[in-house]
């Protein structure tokens, strides 16, 4: 068993370990040298048994094995490697006239074969491709395992620190009857969280009723929320119960609550204070026990300042605030979400796309995602529907994403700028990237938030 050969210093190592197995020492050495020169870590073995021992001992990404060797041949080694090291990719080296056996080896799971005598270019190409496949496969497997772990109890994907914290808070508050206000940009998962909070609550066996305050004009919204008596208004030919009554003992999800008209806000406030509703056109006070989860992507605090949202209602709703982070602030979740949606839309469309090319994955990871998870989901769905190849490349991504605003905006400061101006530019750009959140911007810049206020004046 030879000592591993390493690339000369200075070359960038592709970070892969290759095992060369051949009973011709000359060939073994030559091949090993070629691969090491190209930055791979190489181990060599003179026969199948030795090769198998190495496979047992260390992580090998790719085996290049001669087909015909005394005792254990290439195909036997391939079969054994499937057991001792299932993630290892396999390429067969064949002599002249043994192509059929090589093809047979591929049926057994070899990735490809190289025919002797082989050219440097061909060999390196096959090696590179085999390793890419190996990388993708193990990466996918790893992701799936992590996904399964996380999905055991939820369908909210995310392992970034900020997402874990948000999940922990939501879980912790789910079990009370306290009103929860979910805030966050469009597409960050407010509805997903509303459902999860209901599922985690002790009201899970009752229903969660959803109503969007943006979809309906004032009277219709009130009729939906509180119900009405026969004759309450033109067209009210029968009595109808509203969503509050339907949600009794359960959860009412008030979506886009910032869109509610001032008159409806007053009525909602009364229900929250007294836990009774009155149907439109009715006088009977009907007690309701409803847990409210409200959501908005509007800045209610500013609306309160501007007088468009009632302050008292705001405090009633904002008993517990769960703020959902924008996707650009949890870039590490992009990979997980991408794989999750890939599987989802593979299944939905009867496809079997394996993953994204490294380049495409980089684009996804660096994009700013103004539409957050919804935008990512749409991009992946589109790629799956259009996809013809095994893997999704950059060309299958929406143009807005492929050429879009990157997460890491840069500030271009020409020489000649005063330090004062440069500072202002950096502060402004950072604030833009945090969506105006001065606390976060201050943290990023490493200064106190009151310094930001001062400098902005
Ligand atoms: N953490 C997550 N894991 C898996 N899917 C998610 C996650 N967050 C959001 N999604 C998906 O993204 C899409 C948008 O989520 P959702 O509708 O909950 O966003 P929202 O915050 O309510 O947006 P809007 O303010 O526009 O109504 C949905 O298809 C949802 O399933
Ligand atoms: Mg929503």
Q: Is the domain of 167 the same as that of 252?
A: yes
The residue behind tokens 């001792």 is 84
Distance from residue 264's CA to the centre of ligand 1 (Å):
27
- Please identify which residue in the block is written with the tokens 């050219």: 119
CATH number for the domain spanning 352: value is 1.10.8.60
* DSSP secondary structure letters along 175-208: TS---EEEE-STTSSHHHHHHHHHHHSTTTTS-E
The verdict on 114 and 193 lying in the same domain is no
The angle, 0 to 180 degrees and rounded to 10, between the axes of the packed helices 419-433 and 438-445 is 130
Centre of ligand 2 to C-alpha 259, Å, is 13
Q: Is residue 154 part of a domain?
A: no
Q: Which two tokens stand for residue 152?
A: 């055991």
Cβ-proximal residues to 222 (8 Å cutoff; 6+ apart), any chain: 264, 267, 280
- 413 within some domain: no
Residue 123 placed within a domain: yes
Domain of residue 448, CATH code? 1.10.10
Q: Which of 323, 356, 382 is the last residue of a domain?
A: 323
Residue range of the domain that includes 363: 327-402
102 and 202 inside one domain:
no
Look up residue 96 and give its two tokens.
């002249």
And the tokens for 25? 């020492």
Residues 169 and 312 in one domain: yes
SS3 content of the chain, % helix, strand, coil (to 5): 50, 15, 35
Which atom of ligand 1 lies at the shortest distance from residue 182's CA? 21
**Ligand 1 in reach of 212 Cβ (< 6 A):** no
Instruction: Tell me the CA distances in angstroms from 136 to 89, 109, 227, 362, 364, one per residue in order.
Output: 11, 16, 55, 14, 16
Q: Does residue 40 contact residue 7 with C-beta atoms inside 8 Å? A: yes
Question: Which of 186, 188, 193 for mutating ligand 1's site (highest number of atoms within 8 Å of CB)?
Answer: 188
Render the burial of 260-269: b for 16+ CB within 10 Å, e for the rest. beeebbebbb
Q: Residue whose CA is closest, atom 18 of ligand 1?
A: 189
Residue 82 near residue 100 (C-beta atoms within 8 A): no
Residue 2 falls inside a structural domain: no
Among 86, 120, 146, identify where a domain stops: 146
Q: Are 208 and 315 in the same domain?
A: yes
- Residue-level pLDDT, tens digit, the chain, 457 residues: 445 555 444 334 468 999 999 999 999 999 999 999 999 999 999 999 899 899 988 899 999 999 988 888 898 899 888 877 888 999 999 886 777 888 888 888 889 989 888 889 999 999 999 999 888 888 887 777 666 555 545 678 888 889 989 998 998 899 888 999 999 999 999 999 999 999 989 999 999 999 999 988 999 999 999 999 999 888 888 999 999 999 999 999 999 999 999 999 999 999 999 999 999 999 999 999 999 999 999 999 999 999 999 999 999 999 999 999 999 989 889 999 999 999 999 999 999 999 999 899 989 988 989 999 999 999 999 999 988 888 999 999 998 888 866 655 666 677 777 888 888 888 888 887 677 778 777 877 778 888 888 888 8
- Does any domain span residue 56? yes
Please name which ligand lies nearest the alpha carbon of 166.
1
CB 227 near ligand 1, within 6 Å:
no
Residues 58 and 135 in one domain: yes
Shared-domain flag, residues 423 and 349: no
318 and 223: one domain?
yes
Query: The CATH number of the domain where 239 resides is what?
Result: 3.40.50.300
The CB of 190 under 6 Å from ligand 1? The reply is yes
Does one domain contain both 312 and 343? no
Tokens 């009973």, located at residue: 23
**For the CA of 194, the nearest atom of ligand 1:** 18
How many domains does the chain contain in total?
4
Give the CATH number of the domain where residue 136 resides: 3.40.50.2300
Q: What is the DSSP letter of 327?
A: G
**Gyration radius from the chain CA atoms:** 31
Q: Are 201 and 309 contained in the same domain?
A: yes
Q: Ligand 1: does its nearest atom lie under 6 Å from the Cβ of 297?
A: yes
Tell me which residue has its CA closest to atom 7 in ligand 1: 189
Coil, strand or helix at 55: helix
Give helix 449-456 / helix 419-433 axis angle, nearest 10°.
120
Which helix (H) or strand (E) is 293 found in, with range? Answer: strand 291-296
- List Cβ neighbours of 278 (8 Å cut-off, separation of 6 or more): 226, 284, 285, 286
> Which residue's CA is minimally distant from atom 9 of ligand 1?
189
In the reported structure, the alpha carbon of residue 395 is separated from the centroid of ligand 1 by a whole-number distance in angstroms of 25
341 and 310 together in one domain: no
C-alpha distance across the termini of the chain, in Å: 71
- Asked whether residue 314 falls in the same domain as residue 353, the answer is no
Q: How far is the CA of 95 from the centre of ligand 2 (A)?
A: 62
Out of 373, 379, 380, mutate this one to test ligand 1's pocket (max ligand atoms within 8 Å of CB): namely 373
Compute the distance from residue 257 Cα to the ligand 1 centre, in Å.
Answer: 17
Is the CB of 210 inside a 6 Å radius of any atom of ligand 1?
no
Q: Does the CB atom of residue 267 touch ligand 1 within 6 A? A: no
């Amino acid at each position: 068993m030879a000592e591993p050969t390493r690339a000369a210093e200075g070359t960038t190592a592709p970070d892969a370990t290759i095992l060369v197995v051949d009973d011709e020492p000359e060939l073994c050495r030559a091949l090993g040298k070629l691969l090491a020169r190209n930055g791979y870590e190489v181990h060599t073995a003179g026969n199948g048994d030795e090769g198998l021992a190495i496979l047992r001992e260390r992580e090998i990404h790719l085996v290049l094995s001669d087909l015909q060797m005394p005792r254990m041949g290439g195909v036997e080694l391939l079969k054994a490697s499937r057991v001792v090291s299932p993630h290892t990719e396999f390429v067969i080296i064949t002599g002249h006239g043994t192509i059929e056996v090589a093809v047979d080896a591929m049926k057994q799971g070899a990735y490809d074969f190289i025919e002797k005598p082989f050219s440097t270019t061909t060999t390196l190409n096959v090696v590179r491709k085999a390793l890419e496949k190996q990388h993708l496969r193990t990466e996918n497997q790893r992701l799936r395992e992590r996904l399964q772990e996380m999905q055991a109890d939820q369908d909210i994907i995310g392992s970034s620190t900020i997402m874990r914290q948000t999940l922990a808070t939501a879980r912790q508050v789910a079990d009370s009857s306290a009103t929860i206000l979910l805030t966050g940009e469009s597409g960050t998962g407010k509805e997903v969280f509303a459902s999860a909070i209901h599922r985690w609550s002790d009201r899970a066996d009752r229903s969660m009723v959803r109503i969007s305050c943006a979809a309906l004009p004032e009277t219709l919204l009130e009729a939906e929320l509180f119900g009405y008596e026969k004759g309450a208004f033109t067209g009210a030919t029968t009595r109808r119960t509203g969503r509050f009554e339907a949600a009794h003992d359960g959860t009412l999800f008030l979506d886009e609550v910032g869109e509610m008209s001032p008159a409806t806000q007053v009525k909602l406030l009364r229900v929250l204070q007294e836990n009774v509703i009155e149907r439109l056109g009715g006088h009977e006070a009907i007690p309701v026990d409803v847990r409210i989860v409200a959501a908005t992507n509007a800045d209610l605090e500013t609306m309160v300042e501007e007088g468009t949202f009632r302050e008292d209602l705001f405090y009633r709703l904002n008993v517990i605030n769960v703020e959902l982070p924008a996707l650009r602030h949890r870039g590490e979740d992009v990979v997980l979400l991408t794989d999750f949606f890939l599987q989802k839309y593979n299944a939905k469309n009867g496809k079997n796309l394996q993953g994204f090319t490294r380049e495409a994955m980089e684009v996804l990871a660096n994009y700013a995602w103004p539409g957050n998870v919804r935008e990512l989901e749409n991009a992946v769905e589109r790629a799956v529907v259009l996809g013809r190849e095994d893997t999704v490349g950059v060309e299958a991504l929406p143009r807005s994403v492929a050429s879009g605003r990157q997460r890491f905006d840069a500030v271009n400061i020409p020489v000649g700028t005063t330090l004062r101006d440069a500072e202002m530019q950096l502060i402004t750009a950072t604030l833009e990237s945090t969506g105006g959140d001065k606390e976060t911007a201050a943290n990023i810049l490493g200064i106190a938030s009151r310094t930001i206020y001062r400098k902005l004046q």
